[in-house]
Structure 1
Amino acid sequence: MARCSSVLHLSHLGLRLCAPLSTHFPSNSHIFVANTYSTNIKVRSYFKYIKQKILSPPSPPFNHVCQVGDPVLRSRAVAVDPAAIKGPEVQKVINTMVKVMRKFECVGISAPQIGVPLRILALEYPQKMLAEHSSISRKVHGLTIQPLRIFVNPELRVLDWQTVLFQEACESISGFSATVPRYLSVEVSGTAFKF
């Protein structure tokens, strides 16, 4: 009867079968023992496994932009209670919005785009983005620097119904852009903050 004992080795790569500690085979045995590892077996990191089991998945507000198909983008955003605007929860949402907007170099972002179904909008058009356009393009499209503004419970009113076409992209439809008609002049109202 053959006897073989092995050790399981716990490392940052996961569980791994190590070389046999001792083997006792009869001299006439035709058993071949090789210390090889299969290259087609994916070894999961033990730390990744523990992290997945112990830590819960991320919760809103996310540090990424939700993509088309996410239910939060189709649900109706809820108005923010004016008394809660200065509270830590709403301020966390606003700070995350600004961080994500600047990370992805967006002109604007809404709270639902980071997974929070609240009526909050952040807008900014800094010098860096303006410099990417020629002076002719700036003049034709009326582009100017816009400081960071946060609108809570925004309302939109059209001032000039004439439309102009702009090539635009949306971070919630990553990798896609289209020519979009926009009103020449609008007014956005609501509780606004300049930073």
Structure 2
Amino acid sequence: MTNVHGMKLDAGYLEQALAAVLESEQLPPIVQAGHPVLRAQALPFTGQLSAAELARLIEIMTETMRAAPGVGLAAPQIGIPLQLAVLEDQYEVDADNAAARDRMPLELFAILNPRYTPVGTVLASHYEGCLSMSGWQGVVDRPTTVDLAYDDELGTVRTRRFTGWQARIVQHETDHLAGMLYIDKAYTRSLAATAEYSAHWAYPDIAEARAALKF
């Protein structure tokens, strides 16, 4: 697997990364694009943590996500190559934005070892950002509906169907666990610094950005 300063991203690295986060008295920093752990296939969760340790890690990730703030956070984003992510979307958005993006509130939940499968062939195109690519936004085509298979924190195998913006969050966070960033799927001509996005392209849909930036 990928090396970090001469250390393989294997079970030994995972153990050290987990200890660093769990033993710290501060929230972990969110690593940025270029950190090798973001580009590695995360290790499956196979009981490397006790129930109490897993609950604590999920709590730390949730606090980190909310502090950022964001709507999802994958373990690799805090330097831990483990197939775990937390997701939550309780932010208030205006009605036009919510309608254009089919954005509904998403209650907090954690996913372990997730896999998603597109349902149908309909795609939606929207700007999205990433806590590990601070300062940038890009347009990504994603399936509007997906089925997500995952284990919950109690070890129960679950399958849920997500649509609209919730489906986008699910795909974005699950992609992180396969070493993928949204930039891999984005229209590169759509890329905008956050300030420029806010000034020019923060509309409910991407029509004006598509026409002006030619993507």
TM class by smaller structure:
0.5 to 0.7
Aligned pair partner of 2:128 in 168, 183, 186? 168
Determine the C-alpha separation between the residues in 1 that align with 2:120 and 2:84.
24
Q: Does 1:100 align with 2:61?
A: no
Determine the C-alpha separation between the residues in 2 that align with 1:109 and 1:89.
18
- CA positional deviation for 1:172: 0.4
Q: How many residues of Structure 1 are paired with residues of Structure 2 in the alignment?
A: 132
- CA positional deviation for 1:85: 5.7
Greater helix proportion: 2
In structure 1, give the amino acid aligned to 2:44.
Answer: A
Q: Is the 8 A contact 2:55 2:153 kept in 1?
A: no
Task: Give the match for residue 142 of structure 1.
Answer: 102
CA RMSD of aligned residues (A): 2.1
SS where residue 106 of structure 1 aligns?
A: coil
Instruction: Give the TM-score taking structure 2 as reference length.
Output: 0.56
Q: Does 1:120 align with 2:81?
A: no
User: Counterparts in 2 of 1:7-86, with a 5 A limit?
Assistant: 59-60=20-21, 63-81=28-46, 83-84=47-48, 86=50
- CA positional deviation for 1:104: 0.6
Change (3 A) 1:85 1:188: farther
SS where residue 20 of structure 2 aligns?
A: coil
Q: Is the 8 A contact 1:111 1:117 kept in 2?
A: yes
Task: Give the match for residue 146 of structure 2.
Answer: 186
Q: Is the 8 A contact 2:128 2:139 kept in 1?
A: yes
Determine the C-alpha separation between the residues in 2 that align with 1:150 and 1:85.
15
Q: Which structure would you say has the larger Rg? A: 1
Task: Give the match for residue 162 of structure 2.
Answer: none
Task: Give the match for residue 54 of structure 2.
Answer: 90
In structure 2, give the amino acid aligned to 1:64.
Answer: P
Identical residues among aligned pairs (%): 26
Determine the C-alpha separation between the residues in 2 that align with 1:188 and 1:85.
23
- CA positional deviation for 1:134: 2.0
Determine the C-alpha separation between the residues in 2 that align with 1:107 and 1:161.
25
Determine the C-alpha separation between the residues in 2 that align with 1:64 and 1:95.
15
- CA positional deviation for 1:84: 4.7
Instruction: Give the TM-score taking structure 1 as reference length.
Output: 0.62
- CA positional deviation for 1:137: 2.1
Greater strand proportion: 1
- CA positional deviation for 1:157: 0.9
Q: Is the 8 A contact 1:93 1:111 kept in 2?
A: no
Q: Is the 8 A contact 1:156 1:189 kept in 2?
A: yes
**Higher-RCO chain (CA-CA 8 Å, sequence separation at least 6):** 2
Q: Which runs of 4+ in 1 moved over 6 A?
A: none
- CA positional deviation for 1:152: 0.8
